[in-house]
Amino acid sequence: MHHVPVIDISNPSATESAAVDRACADHGFFLLRGHGLDDLIERTFQEGQRLFAADRSVKDSIARTIDNPLGYYDRELTKRVRDHKEVFDYIDPDKDAGRSRNRWPDGLIGYQETLVEFFDAFSDLAERTVALVHDTLGLSGEVADRHRGSRRASTVRLNHYNIGDPVPEEQRGELADLAPVALGHHTDPGVLTLLLQDGVGGLQAESAEHGWIDVEPEPGTIVVNLGDVMQVWTNDRYRAAVHRVLPMTTSTRMSIPYFFNPSPSLLVEPIRELDLGADRYRPFVWAEFMQARIDDNFTDEGDDTQISDYAVAQ
């Protein structure tokens, strides 16, 4: 665990900020304590457990479609193989699109209300966490303001990692093969992710110095991992966290990521003010990049879209 520092978000010290800088450059992970959200986190986990334990008919009634990526899904692809998990996705409940496209299960009283509360609290915490990274980079003022996320573009996912295949046998048909791990190695596309994990474990990060390392459950903390946008903004000074989840063999696992994303129209490119040498990436519009990632995860039409697709030859 010493490779993944723990930071007090309520009052980070200079020593902790230095640890964040080292971790972000090596593997892109750190942990937050002092967030004051323990009660809400416990209630959100309880609601997730209720959903995933519900009858199949409840989950099928809110199943994701190719036209609406929100709701329940149990056959997502990572690196063109199928994950060992079922998920529930939703977006900002206060957004017009959220009110019309979020899909809430019938009969689970209190589920929607708790998840709305969770979205509000984690949107605020994501802003504070990006500010912490900005401080570590020495960014402030107008430059920092131009390089934040937007709750309007962000999403929450509830993950349930099953033992074995999450799809009923009679529905597997021509589906892609299951991956050898519960979740294949990948990066998150946005600015950063706030991740809750239960006590089961299995999350691993790829360290440039140490190879695969465990991001072990630490009671009372929230996992932070950097996304592709942060790597582009910092021109490779910081790493988008490459991570995976090992197979569940004796117990299922739950995790809840809040994906903090930039505004859809934002042009993503290296931050000139950081003065980190020649640009390693050509600019791209966030919405186009994110849509390509969504399409890759839903269908098996080729390799996943990556920020390496926008890399400039050096």
pLDDT, tens digit (0-9, with 9 covering 90-100), for 112-141: 999 999 999 999 999 999 999 999 999 999
Q: Tell me what pLDDT residue 302 has.
A: 53
Q: Tell me what pLDDT residue 291 has.
A: 85
Q: Tell me what pLDDT residue 76 has.
A: 85
Q: Tell me what pLDDT residue 301 has.
A: 53
Residue with the larger pLDDT of the pair 97 and 6:
6
Q: Where residue 293 falls among pLDDT bands split at 50, 70, 90?
A: confident
Q: Tell me what pLDDT residue 298 has.
A: 57
Q: In whole angstroms, give the CA distance from residue 240 to residue 188.
A: 7
pTM over 0.85: yes
Q: Which residues contact 262 (CB under 8 A, 6 or more apart)?
A: 148, 149, 150, 153, 190, 191, 229, 268, 286
- The pLDDT tens digits for 217-251 are 999 999 999 999 999 999 999 999 999 999 999 99
Q: Where residue 313 falls among pLDDT bands split at 50, 70, 90?
A: confident
Q: In whole angstroms, give the CA distance from residue 41 to residue 249.
A: 25
Residue corresponding to tokens 């966290």: 241
Q: Tell me what pLDDT residue 132 has.
A: 97
